[in-house]
Amino acid sequence: MTRHDPETYLASLREEFPRLRVVAKAEDPLSRGIDAVLRLLTFGGQRAYLTRYVTTLGQTLYVPSDWDARPALERYCVLRHEAVHLRQFRRYGLVGMSLLYLLPILPLGLAWGRARLEWEAYAETFRAHAEVHGIDAARDPRLREHVRSQFTGPAYGWMWPFSAQVDGWIDMLLDALEAPRAPEIV
């Protein structure tokens, strides 16, 4: 097993979250219902909820049907992102997460609460990419564009339509990742 093995990481998450479950979205009625609502609310803009996205609700990870076929390092990086959401659910609870995710300020178009929760998780996505593939991979314009589009496009209901601000968050994070660290005192 390597340091970045998704199964090893999932096992460590199960130690931290003993009730953690992994559920296939395609077989889950709740996921199918969410998919239908998202398609309606985003005027068909979010058509990949069941097939592309991993979703965390409480201590359950809902995965698309191709999850096991995805490259191991991709699954590891996604699990790092989802681990942030698991910890957010532990911190805020189901009701708190629901309120933060759905209300402030608007459910669509300007969702500050959702943007802050997702930024915390996408920051971990960048950290995972830097750790696994190197800082150049974290700086890859395709990763930046992917994350920017998650904030500004229909995938999350246009949660934060300010692409320059999203780019600023990314720049600050990447600069911090590259900053030299002070030597540890032993």
Segment 67-107, tens digit of pLDDT:
999 999 999 999 999 999 999 999 999 999 999 988 866 67
Separation of alpha carbons 102 and 159, rounded Å: 10
Report angle CA 61, 116, 59 to the nearest 5 degrees. 20
Containing H/E element for 57? strand 55-57
Residue 182 resides in a domain: no
Residue 184 resides in a domain: no
Residue 1 resides in a domain: no
Instruction: Name the band, by pLDDT with cuts 50, 70 and 90, for residue 183.
Output: low
Which range marks the domain in which residue 86 is found?
Answer: 6-177
Residue 159 resides in a domain: yes
Indicate whether 65 pLDDT > 60.
yes
Residue 184 is predicted with a pLDDT of 66
Separation of alpha carbons 71 and 6, rounded Å: 10
Residue 145 resides in a domain: yes
Residue 74 is predicted with a pLDDT of 97
Whole-model pTM: value is: 0.92
CA torsion sign, 49 to 94 to 11 to 120? Answer: positive
In the chain, the number of structural domains is 1
Residue 1 is predicted with a pLDDT of 47
Residue 83 resides in a domain: yes
CB 54 within 8 A of CB 67: yes
Separation of alpha carbons 22 and 80, rounded Å: 15
Mean pLDDT confidence for 120-141: 97
Residue 14 has which token pair? 């199960």
